[in-house]
């Protein structure tokens, strides 16, 4: 029996986030999945590069990084801001005739839903940080390091501006399956708002609730749920696991 191609999972982080958290995902995912975290300019290992401002530029960058891999089986996963960016990238890739086989989203209302909080990206740093704390939008580790937090604020602000000024553009719905994940204690979204992701596709939709607040990616329950969802997806398309889960990086070359 021949082995079908592996599935590449492109991952997009939350506002201001980097590719690093996704590197640790590979060990918990099915053997046939290769994790490729997408690193945006001004973030993580590309922190010295100028930030991109605006959804169009960010979407183009995500599509560029996916590049030639779009002609192989692939899926897109995004968390919070990354969900929005992943969705918009999927729309572009679909229009180009190379849609993902699966879109996975977490920690953000469906794109047709109103913003879950009052915008604050325009506030001075003190007010901006207070706003982030109010919505649970900062990892605890970052709050404990004021100087490090100050360093990351420009990237967080730029990404959050995209989220807070986003307006869903009308267009064809996706046709691929969409899998959504939500933290039971997430103050930024809830099951009803996450279920709104079903409106952007004609494909199968499912929602999984997991333990944790907004930043639940390291929770064992989420990792198990994500791995299970990818395994079920592989079964529906007849893909056969071929090797250990792997991780590579997609950055500017």
In angstroms, the CA 31 to CA 9 distance is 12
Helix (H) or strand (E) holding 103: strand 102-106
198 classed as catalytic: no
**H or E element that contains 7:** strand 7-12
Rounded Cα–Cα distance for residues 147 and 156 (Å): 14
Find the helix packing angle between 81-95 and 146-164, rounded to 10°: 40
Rounded Cα distance, 210 and 185, in Å: 9
What is the largest distance, in Å, between two alpha-carbon atoms of the chain? 61
Active-site residue among 18, 80, 83, 106? 80
Residues labelled as active-site residues: 80
């Amino acid at each position: 029996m021949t082995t079908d191609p592996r599935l590449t999972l492109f991952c997009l982080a939350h506002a201001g986030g980097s590719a690093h958290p996704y590197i640790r995902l590979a060990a918990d995912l099915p053997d046939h999945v290769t994790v490729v975290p997408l690193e945006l300019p001004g973030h993580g290992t590309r922190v010295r590069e100028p930030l991109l401002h605006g959804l169009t530029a960010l979407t183009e960058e995500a599509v560029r990084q996916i590049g030639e891999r779009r002609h192989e089986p692939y899926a897109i996963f995004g968390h919070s801001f990354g969900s929005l960016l992943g969705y918009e990238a999927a729309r572009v890739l679909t229009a180009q005739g190379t849609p993902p086989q699966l879109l996975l989203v977490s920690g953000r209302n469906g794109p047709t839903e109103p913003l879950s909080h009052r915008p604050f990206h325009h506030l001075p740093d003190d007010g901006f940080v207070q706003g982030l704390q109010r919505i649970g939008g900062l990892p605890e580790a970052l709050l404990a390091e004021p100087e490090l937090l100050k360093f990351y604020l420009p990237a967080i602000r730029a990404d959050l501006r995209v989220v807070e000024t986003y307006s869903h553009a009308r267009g064809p719905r996706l046709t691929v399956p969409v899998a959504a994940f939500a933290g039971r204690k997430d103050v930024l979204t809830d099951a009803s708002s996450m279920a709104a992701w079903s409106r952007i596709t004609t494909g199968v939709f499912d929602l999984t609730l997991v333990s944790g607040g907004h930043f639940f990616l390291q929770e064992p329950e989420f990792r198990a749920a994500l791995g299970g969802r990818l395994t079920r997806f592989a079964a529906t398309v007849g893909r056969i696991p071929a090797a250990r889960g792997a991780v590579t990086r997609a950055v500017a070359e």
